[in-house]
Each structure stands twice: as structure tokens, then as C-alpha cells.
Amino acid sequence: MYADIAFPLKLHSLTYKIPEGASTDIEGRIVKASIGGRPALGLVVSVSAEPPVAKKKFREIEEVYGRFGSKAALPLILWLADYHVSTIGMALKTCFFEEAAALMQSGLVPSETDETQAAQGFYASMLYHAGSTKNELSLLADTVSGIKDNSKGIVALAPETVRLDQIAGALRAIFGERLCVLHGRLTKKKRMSAIERIISGDADVIAGTRSAVFAPLSNVSFISVAGEHSQSYKGEEGIRYNGRDVAVMRGFIEKSPVLLSSVCPSLESVYNSRTGKYVALNAKGFRIKGAGPMFADAVRSAVEGQQEVVRPKIEIINLQKRETISPAIIKQAKNIFSAGGRFLFLVNRQGYSLIRCDECGFMPRCGRCLVPMAFTKNNRVLRCGYCGETKPGFSVCPDCKSAKLSFFGAGTEKVKEEVERLLHAEALVIEKKHGRASAGEDMSGSSFVVGTSYARRKSKEQVFDGAAYLNIDAIVFQPDFRADEKAFQEIMELVQVIRPDSKIYLQTGDARRPLWNNLRHYDFGAFYDYELAQRKSLGYPPFSRTALLVVKSKSAVPGLQESVYSAVSSVSFPGLEILGPIERPPSGKAYRQQFHILLKAKDSRILHKASRSILGNLDGMKDVEAFADTNPYKI
């Protein structure tokens, strides 16, 4: 008998011989086998009587350990690799396989674990549109409290660390020592000990950020995804999976219910709940097909227990002149300050401002990202907001030597200057600094906080008495079919950190956009109707599927452009739209060239076939990296 074994390497699986007399029931197990003369730990993907290729000699498997995760782990890994047009080896690098394998080999965890059927034993994805993040938390806590005695294996995902702390706190109060927290910033040692607790069965309730969706539990009976719309579930490295989508697929394979919640659900999830693919928990008399009475009651009473939500007023300010902050906002901030309150000025640009020559129109741009660079007054440099690249500043135009330069498009530095000039009080700037992890800034002592959306993410609920989003236009005017959706979600998240009896101001240069009216009235129904109609007429997701193929090279590869063009032109499928290839400035300093190809199709199978064949055409080119980003978030 033969076994196909995948290793956590950029390789396809390899065939080995199962030693005479050894058990052949080893699919899904961790094994030791040599690869290139060295012992390595891999996963048995399949077992067959005949080898797939006629070869005289196969190496033998050296050692067999326990199963990796639950029975659903192998199918989930195969799906992960296939759906994202990647390899099983890359999927293994994504899902805590290496940690689990090392623990099994060292004998630190038992090889045989309890594999009784999951307690719920049915799959359903449910979507709850919550009034607040507080309500999302209580929905989760109430649901799991209701099923506590009848559930083994719970995975609760959070989009950000502030939310994770809250979820972990609530789950610890319910489950005590059964809780384990799993997130991307654990040290290797802490991660190993977390995985050890999970595999040994000491911990079966997992709270974590996106990668925790792969927690190697032997049973899963409930999965929840808070803030399901959040783009932090989407990865930027390795396999570009979306943690929410993996959660839904894991639930499906494990036969476990999945609860998605959000204060502003994604268009995709809203569409799925409108078409009946997901159970819409906001609908009166919802029914969860397949659920036992205990589970159904737990969800129903959690939904019924949701508190009525009061939200701050949203006011749209039409910017007339080129002022940085409208006088109405300054007036409100002043009132709040006098009453001892705190005001948040949000602006999604770091540095002082953009800069332009009045004579010739010259604007400094990042050589890599091509976006305008912001001038920082403090250290007199130009900085790219995307990659952090800096260039020396200038006082006369480098092109025409004119000294007539104008500053526009204020960033955090300029807003701080304006706030301090107009309000005569110090303002604290909170933003993510390039190249260093920001420590937990304490914002509580400052009356005026100026920050990027990073400041909003680092804040707890209702800590500000008012806020203004100064350049929401920077999101809305992006050439991105999700621009309005992203703006709506951004504002709904801002709402969470503002006291409900106060006000949020949105400054815009185009006050007639339909989006503003829907935002002002918190009219989600109208917003979703409008967006879905737009997407449908343009054939964008959720009415089609997209995949972004990225081809990068670290050196100047002769003929790369021609190869990319011919790889693309040789592919055609009915209903497939191909945009590109276009050459893009490389992301990341290590790269020299980069090409993007956007594929769009109604049928996801066609999309996958096309992705696979284009990437296949580029396979084996030296120094060239090519991968697919299925359902990309950034285009």
C-alpha cells in the first residue's frame, strides 16, 4: 500500500510506501518520512493500493503519529489549497500543522484523542446584524452560555485585539480554564503551549484572531465570527484566505453551526442571508434548520435579550472652502471641551499634508506605489503613506524651481496644528508608525485626539463625546467597487467609540452622494438595496467571483512581460473576463517587477480553472513568484 504525503513546504505531495504489516488506516495522520535524505513530518493525504506513478522504489514511512486535528482537518486543508489555487504544503504552513506535528513527535501530547461526534451535529451559517459591538458580545456570550453543557470545541474569532480581549474575557467568565487565546502575535513558545493545551484537550474553547479558525481541536461544535465584515480577516501574506470564509467552510465540514455578526455586515453576507443561504437572525420567527431544541432556544433567547441601541447623530458637512476643519466642528469640539469631554478628529493620512507646485503642478510621488507622498513638517521629509518610503523635502519645486508651493489634503500633523491653534489646547496624535509596533498608547488623558482609523481601532466603546471624520472622501473616491461599503463600515465602527447622545460630523466635498443620506438615517436597508443593485448591474461580487493573480520577480527577468502576456492570452473560458495584465509598481522592497491580472466570472469553477492554468503557464520560471488572491479585498 502507498500513501501520498504532504509536507509544510512549497511542494506537491510525494508518494511513500507503507511498511509491510503496518496499519493502512492512516489518512489524516501525522507521519515521519525522509525527504531529500532528511527526516520530515508530513500529513497523509490519501492511501492507495497502487502507486500513482510507475516507479521501482519508494521510500517507506518511518513513523506514524496521531491524527491532525479533527476528521474535518484534512478536507479543510484540501479545500484551502484548492480554493486559493495553492498547494497542500502551503496550506499546512497556514494551519498550525508544524506545531502539532512537533508536539506529537516529542510525545508531549497523546496520539489518540477523543473523537466523539460534535454535540450539535448540524451545519448552518447564521447572520446577525447587531446594533452595537456590545450587543455582538452579549449575543455570543448568551448563546454559548445556553449551550455550555452540551458543547465541546468552540472557536470565537475577533477582528482586532481590543475586541479579542473583550471576547476572551466573556468566555473566560463562562468556561474558565477551558479557554485558550490564540493570535498572531504570540511568541513561538506561547503558541506551542497553546497548541499543546488544545491538542491534549485541556482547552477546547478558543478565542482568537483570524488564524485561530485553524485551531486543531478534535471536536468543533460552534464557531463565531465577530465583526464579520472586517478586512482584518483577509490575509496579505501566504495563502490569502479570509478567516470568515474559512470559518463558514469549517462549520460546513465539521457539521457545526457558524454565527456571523457585525454592526455593518458585508454585502456578500447580506446577500447570502437574503437568498436564504444564511439564516437571517434579525428576521422575526427565524428558523435554524437542523438545530436541536437546546441550540435553537439558546440562539432565540440570545437574540431576544438584545438591548435597544441608541446611536449618535450623524451630520454631513459640505466643505465650501479649502478649510481643514469646518467651523461647525470646531464650535462643537469647543463646547465638549468646556464640559470636560473628549473629541476625536479622524483623518486617514499621516504627516502634514500633500504638497503641489502652483506653477507647474508638480506633486512628489512614491517611486514604488505612485501615490502622492505626504510632507512631514517635523523632520522635513516626504513620506509614502503606503510603504513608508521617505525622500528629502524641498522648499522650491524640483521641476521648475518655483517657490510657490501649496499644501493641501491635511494629515494628522496639520490637523493637530489646526486644533491647537483654534482650540488652544494640546492634541494627542495616535497613528500607526511605520516600521515599529506601537505600544498601547494611553488616550484617556487627552481632551483632543487626532488620529487615523488606527486610533479608532485602539479605543474602547463610547469613550469619546464627539467625533469628526475629516477626509472620508479619501475612501469614497477610491476607484474600488467596495468604496461606499468600506466607508459605511468605517463610520459604523466609529459610531461604536462615540457616546450615543452625541454627534459625529462627516466632512465631504460632495454632499449629494446617496451614501450620506443612508448613513445619516442609519438606513441599512436602503444602503444594501442600492449597493446590491449597483453591483448587479455592473456584475461585481456577490453577483460574480473575482480573483487577482499577482506575478512578482525579485530580479529583472528577461522576457517576463512577454511570458505573462502569453500565459494570459492562451487562456479563454466562456463567461470569463480578464482585465490586464497590467504592470504595477512592486509592493515590497525586495521586488523589481510586478504584474496584476484580474479575473472575473459568474461561475467560480471557471475562475479556478482559469487561475490554475495561467499560474501553471508561469510555473517554474526562475526568480518568479506567482499566486492567486481569491475574492481580493484590495484591487
Question: Toward Zn ion, which CB reaches closer, 360 or 425?
Answer: 360
Least Å from the CB of residue 586 to Zn ion = 10
Question: Toward Zn ion, which CB reaches closer, 220 or 387?
Answer: 387
Least Å from the CB of residue 184 to Zn ion = 24
Whole-number Cα distances in Å, 460 to 201, 410, 416, 592? 33, 26, 22, 42
Question: Toward Zn ion, which CB reaches closer, 52 or 398?
Answer: 398
Question: Toward Zn ion, which CB reaches closer, 397 or 571?
Answer: 397
Which of 386, 522, 573, 591 binds Zn ion (CB under 5 A)? It is 386
Least Å from the CB of residue 351 to Zn ion = 13
Give me the DSSP letters along 548-571. EEEEEESS--TTHHHHHHHHHHT-
Least Å from the CB of residue 395 to Zn ion = 12
For residues 355 to 374, the per-residue mask of contacts with Zn ion, x marking binding by CB under 5 A and - elsewhere, is --x-xx-x---x-xx-----
Least Å from the CB of residue 360 to Zn ion = 3
Q: Which stretch binds Zn ion (CB under 5 A): 53-61, 390-398, 509-517, 606-614?
A: 390-398
Least Å from the CB of residue 350 to Zn ion = 12
Does 399 bind Zn ion (CB under 5 A)? Our answer is yes
Which of 400, 403, 511, 582 binds Zn ion (CB under 5 A)? It is 400
Whole-number Cα distances in Å, 231 to 26, 81, 153, 159, 485? 38, 21, 26, 8, 12
Per-residue cell: 4:
501520498
Question: Toward Zn ion, which CB reaches closer, 366 or 495?
Answer: 366
Q: Give yes or no for a cis peptide into 585 (omega within 30° of 0).
A: no
Does 384 bind Zn ion (CB under 5 A)? Our answer is yes
Strand, coil or helix: what is 523?
Answer: coil
Least Å from the CB of residue 356 to Zn ion = 9
Give me the DSSP letters along 278-326. SEETTSTT---TT--HHHHHHHHHHHHTPPP----EEEEEE--SS-SS-
Beta carbons within 8 Å of 47's beta carbon, 6+ residues apart: 1, 2, 3, 4, 18, 24, 25, 26, 27
Question: Toward Zn ion, which CB reaches closer, 248 or 397?
Answer: 397
Least Å from the CB of residue 588 to Zn ion = 10
Does 397 bind Zn ion (CB under 5 A)? Our answer is yes
Question: Toward Zn ion, which CB reaches closer, 389 or 583?
Answer: 389
Within a 13 Å sphere around the CA of 227, how many CA atoms are in the beta-carbon half?
A: 26
| Spatial strand order in the sheet of 427-430 | 313-318, 498-508, 464-469, 343-346, 448-451, 427-430
Which of 389, 441, 480, 603 binds Zn ion (CB under 5 A)? It is 389
Beta carbons within 8 Å of 77's beta carbon, 6+ residues apart: 6, 43, 88, 91, 92, 95, 97
> Residue-wise over 10-31: b if at least 16 C-beta within 10 A, else e?
eeebbbbbbeeeeeeebebbbb
In terms of Cα–Cα distance, which of 378, 412, 375 is closest to 397? Answer: 375
Question: Toward Zn ion, which CB reaches closer, 75 or 585?
Answer: 585
Which of 154, 158, 387, 476 binds Zn ion (CB under 5 A)? It is 387
Q: Which stretch binds Zn ion (CB under 5 A): 36-44, 217-225, 234-242, 381-389?
A: 381-389
For residues 339 to 358, the per-residue mask of contacts with Zn ion, x marking binding by CB under 5 A and - elsewhere, is ------------------x-
**Site residues (vs Zn ion, CB under 5 A):** 357, 359-360, 362, 366, 368-369, 384, 386-387, 389, 397, 399-400, 402
